[in-house]
Structure 1
C-alpha cells in the first residue's frame, strides 16, 4: 500500500470515528433540539458509513465479493435528511409523519432496489453481453460506467438545501420567531454542503470526461477527503450548538391590548424625540413611568412586545445616535469622546463602553474615527 493511501485511510478513519462519536452524543441528547439533533446524528452516521465503505475498498474488501452485495451507497438519502434536520430545527414539537413524509425517502428506496438489481447481474454475467438482459446490461452501464449516482445525489442535495433555505425564511409567524444569531451556524452548514456538492460534480465530471471514470478511482481521493473533513466539522458544529434555542414563542396580544401598547409606544418615542429625555443621566424605568403617568410594567411590556427592545438598549440607542450627531458638529472638535458621551446622557465611562460595544459591535473610538 502506497504512503498516500495510508494517509488517506487515516484521514477517512478520523472523519468516520468522529462522525460516529458525535452522532451517538447527539442521538442521546435530550435537550431543546432533541429531534433535530437526531436527524443531524443520522446524517453523521450515513457519512461515517460511507467513509468506512471506502476504507474497506482500499483494503480490497467490497470488490465483487460477498461484501460487494452488502455495502451499498445510500447516496440519495442525504438531501432528505438535511431537509428534515432544518425542518425539525424551525418547527416546534416537530414529528416525522410517515404517512405524509415518506415521499422524501422515495429516492433512496429506488436507489436501494436499483443498486441491488445491478449488483445481482454478476450472478448471470459470463463475460458476454448476451448473458444479461437488455435492462440488466444497460442498467449496469448507466449505473457503473457513468456518474449517474453522484449526479442524482448532488441534484437532490441542492434541491433540498434550497428547500431548507426557504424554510428558514418562511418560519417566522405570528406565534413563533427564529433567533437569528442562533441559526447562523445552520446557514453555514447549508452553504458548506452546497459548495461541497458542486465540487463533487466538478471532480466527478472531470474524471469522467478526461480520465477512465469506470476503472480509475482517483476522483475518490478528493471526494471522500472532503466528506471526511465535512463530517468532522459538522460533528463539532452540532455538538457545540446542540442545546441552542433556535425558535421562540411570541406573545400574541389581544386587539385592545395591542392598541393600548402601540399608543404608549408613540408616547415614549415622542418624549425621546421632542424632549430628548434620554439625555438625563439618571433616567430609569421608574422615572420614565412617572413622567408618562404610566405603570412601569406596561412600559416594559410595550418596549418588549411593540418596540422589541430592552429598556437600557432602547435608551442607549438614542444616546449613541445623539453622540454621533455631536461628533459631526465642528464646534465639538476640541471635546473628548467621553465628555460628548456624558453630554449625550451616559453617566459613566464603563456604561458607555459597554453600550457602544453591544449595540454597534465596535469600540467607542471607532465612532470618532468614522
Structure 2
C-alpha cells in the first residue's frame, strides 16, 4: 500500500496545482471554471486528511467534519449546468445532503474532542457504513443527471459552433461513468465483501486513475469556450419526459434561427432546407411545432410572414408599394396564398387592415 500511497501523494500535488490554476488563472471562462476549482479543492482536502490520518491514526482526524461525500459531484453538476446555460430550480436542494453531512460530523467531532471513548469503534463503522450507502446512491443519481445534461449540451452544440472539437464535455461523461462504476463497486463491497482487501486495493487504484484522468482532462479544457444557450428546463422529471425536453429545446433553436436569420424571407424555404440549416431532423422540427400548436412548418413560416406584412403595410416608406409587392417582400410567392393566410390569421383583408389602422 505504501507504493499506492506514493502515487496518491503525487495525485495530491497535482490536484493542488490544478486547484490553484482554476482559482487564479485568468482564463476565458474564469467564473464557470471556479466550480471546477471548488471541485478539486474538495478532492485536495480529502487527500490531505487521508495523509494526516495515515500518519497520526487519530480518531478526531478520521471523524473531522470536512467530508465531501455529498458535495464533490454536485459541484461538477453545477459546472455542466452553467456551461449549458440551464437554470436548476430549487438548486439549494442539491446542497442539503452536504450541509447535513457537515453538521452531523461537526457534532461527532466535538464529542470526540471532549472524550474519544464516548463513541466506540463499532459505532464509527456503523456510521460510515450508513453514510456510504446514502452517498453511493446520491452520487450515482448526480452522475446520471450530469450525463443527461451533457447529452443535451452535445446535441445542441453544433447550433452554436461550426467546429465542435473538444467542446462536447466528453471528459466529464467519462468521469461520471467511472463514478457510477466506482460507487457501484463500493456498494457491492460493503454489501457482500466488507473485509476483502483485494477489492479495496482495486477500488483504491480506480480512485487514483479517476483523479489523474480528470485532472489532465480538465486542465486541457480550461480555455475552450463551449457555452450553449439552453434556457431553463422543467425540473419535475415525474411530469416531464426527456423527449418533452428535447421538443422544448428544438423549438427554441427553431425560433432562434427564424428570428435572427429571418429565414422566412426566403420564398423557397422548405422543411428540408430549414432542417439542414439548423441541423435538426425534420421529424423533430415538425413535432416541436405541433407541440406549440402549429399545423405544419409552412403554417409556422407564414405566421412570421404575416407579422412582417402587417409591419410593412403601416410603414410610411412602403406606402408606394402595392399590397402584393409587400407580400413578396416577406417571402410570399403566391397572391392567393398570401390573401388566404392573411385573412385566416388577422381576420380581415389587407386593405381593411390598412384602413382600420
Q: Same fold (TM over 0.5)?
A: yes
Distance 1:109 1:161 in 2: 19
Shift in Å at residue 202 of structure 1?
1.8
1:163 aligns with 2:158: no
Shift in Å at residue 24 of structure 1?
1.4
Distance 1:262 1:89, change over 3 A: farther
Describe the superposition over 1:154-204 as per-residue Cα deviations: whole angstroms up to 9, x where unpaired: 2222212222233234457799747754344x2332333332343344245
Q: Which moved more, 1:251-260 or 1:104-113?
A: 251-260
Shift in Å at residue 86 of structure 1?
0.5
Q: Which residue of 2 aligns with 1:85?
A: 79
Q: Which residue of 2 aligns with 1:319?
A: none
SS of the equivalent of 2:224 reads coil
Q: Which residue of 1 aligns with 2:209?
A: 229
Counterpart pick for 2:135 among 153, 161, 176: 153
> Is the CA contact (8 Å cut-off) linking 1:53 and 1:71 kept in structure 2?
no
TM-score by length of 1: 0.55
Q: Which residue of 2 aligns with 1:242?
A: 222
Shift in Å at residue 261 of structure 1?
3.4
Larger RCO of the pair (alpha carbons < 8 Å, separation 6+): 1
SS of the equivalent of 1:151 reads helix
1:261 aligns with 2:266: yes
SS of the equivalent of 1:231 reads helix
Distance 2:123 2:92 in 1: 26
> Is the CA contact (8 Å cut-off) linking 1:14 and 1:228 kept in structure 2?
no
Describe the superposition over 1:65-84 as per-residue Cα deviations: whole angstroms up to 9, x where unpaired: 4x345463221102211210
Matches within 5 A, 1:120-199: 120-122=110-112, 140=124, 142-144=126-128, 147-171=129-153, 177=160, 180-184=164-168, 186-199=169-182
Distance 1:218 1:112, change over 3 A: farther
Distance 1:114 1:209 in 2: 27
1:116 aligns with 2:100: no
Distance 1:109 1:256 in 2: 47
Distance 2:206 2:261 in 1: 57
> Is the CA contact (8 Å cut-off) linking 2:16 and 2:41 kept in structure 1?
yes
Shift in Å at residue 64 of structure 1?
1.9
CA RMSD of aligned residues (A): 4.1
Unpaired segments ≥5 residues, structure 1: 270-301, 309-370
Q: Which residue of 2 aligns with 1:205?
A: 188
Distance 1:174 1:53 in 2: 40
Shift in Å at residue 307 of structure 1?
7.5
1:38 aligns with 2:34: yes
